[in-house]
């Protein structure tokens, strides 16, 4: 148990990058590579990306809280929703690396800016969750100092995403150096990262050694791929960094081949669920069959990173040709609120869960209904909380970066007069599916 009040982390998260979006040289195309002193634009494609990501995070926790260990349907949902943590690290790294490539800072200034921006919300919410734990659990009340220390260095339940993000920012100068130093050979860097990820996942998921060299190597592997260390997410960090170094090229590929990318995204999800089903048939427990540290999961998570980007491009392209709809405004609001959702939603979810528990609606036979109530209630409750916090002087402290200011300060890409490069049908279906998570 982390932080007293939270349920045991059977798996599960997610600040957002506190930087404006990458720049472009004109209203029509993104540059292939970042360079200093370019005009900066706001990439609207990442608004929908962020909304889908945080809704997926809330959905995952809404399932994890009440799901029974033997539920094949519940853990199949977890198999898909595991991707949410990895797409977050992908996007956070992409934006941070692009910013550093475009406007270089010294390592010290970079650390102060990046870590300093995230550490204040982390400390504030750690104290909020600590107070909640002390008030609601006897273990935390009896041992407050150890509870607080554990929360600070490990991260309270979902706040571990900031612990990992601090590690990303700490090694960011090295990541940027690698992107610059290996230009022209980025395909080899990606291939090595993918091979390493698959090797780690294969060793941890499929093998068990009782002694000898391989037993020791697997023990090291298991220690390194825990949810609170960057090592287990290195593929998505590397992918985000390399995508930042080729932003224009990647964006154009996802735009021009959008339908194929989305088809591949859905196909990879089907493959992942198929492997999960195969694991069940082999006698694996649902929790193990849905393990996020297995080879097929790594491929699904990678597909999700680029799939959500492709969905965002479709939405942004279509939005550039019309007046804002209610859905457009909801996505924009959700993108602004995403940081607050990541930070606050577990508090709201726990309060709702306690209420359901009190009236006896958290039994094994009702986990599906409980999950639905938790999802809807947590999205609504966290949204109301974030909206209220925005009206206070603690907005940035408690809800993360003010993306609305970024959007107002920079022109949007794609520009409102740009024609869409793809048809609207798949976009409409994809957006409706995403918002219905």
Q: Phi and psi for 220 in degrees, rounded to 5?
A: -65, -45
Quick check: is 317 in a domain? yes
Please name the residue that has the structure tokens 């992107």. Answer: 179
- With contact defined as beta carbons under 8 Å apart, do 48 and 151 qualify? no
- Those residues with Cβ within 8 angstroms of residue 241's Cβ, 6 or more apart along the chain or in another chain: 93, 94, 97, 175, 176, 178, 179
Contact 317, 421 (CB under 8 A): yes
**Cα gap 94→245, rounded to integer Å:** 9
Domain total of the chain: 1
Q: How many CB atoms lie within 10 A of CB 364?
A: 11
Q: With beta carbons less than 8 A apart as the criterion, state whether 80 and 272 touch.
A: yes
CA pair distance 12, 159, nearest whole angstrom = 11
Residue 37 is predicted with a pLDDT of 63
Number of neighbours of residue 393 by Cβ within 10 angstroms: 7
Continuous H helices in 225-257? 234-245, 247-256
For residue 16, tell me if it sits in a domain.
no
**Phi and psi of 413, rounded to 5°?**
-125, 125
The per-residue pLDDT for 361 is 86
Angle of the 234-245 helix axis to the 295-319 helix axis, nearest 10:
40
The conformational region for residue 73 under phi > 0 = left, psi -120 to 50 = alpha, else beta, is alpha
Residue 114 is assigned to a structural domain of this protein:
yes
Q: What kind and span of H or E run contains 43?
A: strand 42-43
Residue 312 and residue 49 in contact, taking contact as beta carbons nearer than 8 Å: yes
* End-to-end CA gap in the chain: 28
Distance of CA 89 to the CA centre of its chain: 6
392 dihedral zone (left: phi>0; alpha: psi -120 to 50; beta): beta
Q: What is the DSSP string of 120-135?
A: HHHHHHHHHHHHHHHH
Distance CA(351)–CA(354), nearest Å, equals 5
DSSP-derived pairing of the beta strands 42-43 and 412-413? parallel
> What averages of pLDDT result for each successive group of 10 residues across the chain (437 residues)?
42 38 50 67 90 97 95 96 96 94 90 92 97 92 93 94 96 96 96 97 91 92 93 97 93 95 97 97 95 95 97 92 90 94 97 93 89 97 96 91 78 65 37 36
Asked if the structure places residue 30 within a domain, the reply is no
Look at residue 40 and give its three-state secondary structure.
strand
42: part of which helix (H) or strand (E)? Answer: strand 42-43
Q: Which domain holds residue 280?
A: 42-435
Residue 116 lies in a domain: yes
Name the percent of the chain lying above pLDDT 90. 72
Domain-located, residue 6: no
| In a domain? residue 63 | yes
Closest CA to 61 of 345, 381, 435, 354: 345
Is residue 314 included in any domain, yes or no? yes
Distance CA 296, CA 201 (A): 9
Measured at the CA of 385, the angle between CA 379 and CA 388, to 5 degrees, comes to 140
């Amino acid at each position: 148990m982390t932080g007293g009040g939270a349920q045991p982390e059977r798996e599960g998260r997610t600040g957002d990058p506190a930087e404006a979006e990458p720049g472009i040289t004109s209203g029509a195309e993104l540059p292939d590579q970042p360079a200093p002193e370019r005009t900066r634009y706001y990439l609207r494609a990442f608004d929908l990306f962020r909304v889908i990501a945080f809704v997926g995070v809330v959905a995952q926790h809404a399932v994890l809280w009440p799901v029974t260990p033997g539920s094949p349907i519940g853990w199949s949902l977890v198999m898909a929703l595991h991707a949410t943590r990895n797409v977050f690290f992908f996007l956070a790294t992409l934006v941070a690396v692009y910013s550093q490539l475009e406007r270089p800072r010294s390592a010290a200034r970079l650390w102060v800016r990046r870590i300093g921006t995230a550490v204040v919300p982390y400390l504030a919410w750690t104290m909020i969750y600590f107070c909640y734990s002390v008030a609601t659990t006897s273990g935390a009340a009896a041992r407050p100092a150890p509870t607080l220390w554990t929360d600070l260095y490990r991260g309270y339940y979902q706040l571990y995403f900031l612990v990992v993000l601090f590690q990303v920012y700490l090694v960011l100068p090295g990541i940027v150096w690698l992107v610059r130093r290996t230009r022209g050979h980025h395909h080899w860097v990606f291939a090595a990262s993918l091979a390493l990820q698959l090797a780690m996942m294969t060793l941890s998921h499929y093998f068990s050694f009782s002694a000898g060299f391989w037993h020791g190597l697997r023990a090291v592997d298991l220690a390194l791929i825990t949810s609170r260390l960057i090592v287990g997410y290195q593929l998505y960090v590397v992918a985000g960094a390399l995508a930042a170094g080729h932003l224009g090229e990647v964006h154009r590929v996802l735009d021009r081949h959008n339908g194929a990318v989305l088809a591949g995204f859905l196909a990879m999800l089907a493959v992942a669920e198929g492997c999960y089903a195969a694991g069940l048939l082999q006698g694996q427990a649902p929790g193990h069959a849905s393990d996020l540290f297995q080879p097929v999961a790594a491929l699904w998570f990678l597909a999700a990173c680029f799939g959500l980007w492709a969905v965002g491009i479709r939405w942004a392209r279509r939005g550039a040709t019309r007046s804002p709809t209610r859905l457009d405004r909801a996505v924009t609001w959700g993108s602004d609120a995403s940081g607050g959702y990541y930070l606050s939603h577990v508090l709201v979810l726990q309060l709702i869960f306690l209420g359901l528990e009190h009236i006896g609606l958290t039994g094994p036979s009702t986990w599906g209904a409980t999950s639905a109530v938790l999802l809807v209630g947590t999205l609504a409750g966290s949204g109301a909380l974030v909206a209220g916090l925005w009206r206070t002087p603690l907005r940035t402290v408690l809800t993360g970066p003010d993306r609305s200011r970024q959007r107002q300060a920079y022109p949007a890409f794609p520009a409102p007069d740009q024609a869409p490069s793809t048809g609207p049908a798949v976009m409409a279906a994809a957006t409706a599916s995403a918002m219905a998570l």
